Amino acid sequence: MDGMSDTAVLFIFIVFILNIILLAKVWGMTNNVKRFLNFYMHENGIKIKIDNLKGELFIDKDGKEIEM
């Protein structure tokens, strides 16, 4: 019984470490979203227009409003 509990503790410890690594990777990927959005907007000619009544509007290269 003692050997099985040691194996279980080792398994739980390994899963814990792998979860920490996964969290760090996901956190790092969320920081790249803004960079991808800026690249996409630049490549497709999308601009942000600030309107006092509507807030932020996205305008394509033809001047048409993009609805969200």
End-to-end CA distance of the chain: 59
Task: Identify the pLDDT of residue 3.
Answer: 66
- Given a cut of 60, whether residue 57 has pLDDT beyond it is yes
2-50 pLDDT, tens digit per residue, is 667 888 999 999 999 999 999 999 988 887 787 888 888 888 888 887 7
Task: Identify the pLDDT of residue 11.
Answer: 94
Q: Can you list the alpha helix ranges (DSSP code H) found in 1-68? A: 2-44
Contact 45, 60 (CB under 8 A): yes
Beta partners for residue 51, in sequence order: 55
Distance separating alpha carbons of residues 19 and 66, to the nearest angstrom: 39
Distance separating alpha carbons of residues 26 and 30, to the nearest angstrom: 6
Helix (H, G, I), strand (E, B) or coil at 1: coil
Q: Where are the domains of the chain?
A: 2-66
pTM: predicted TM-score of the whole model, two decimal places: 0.48
Task: Identify the pLDDT of residue 17.
Answer: 98
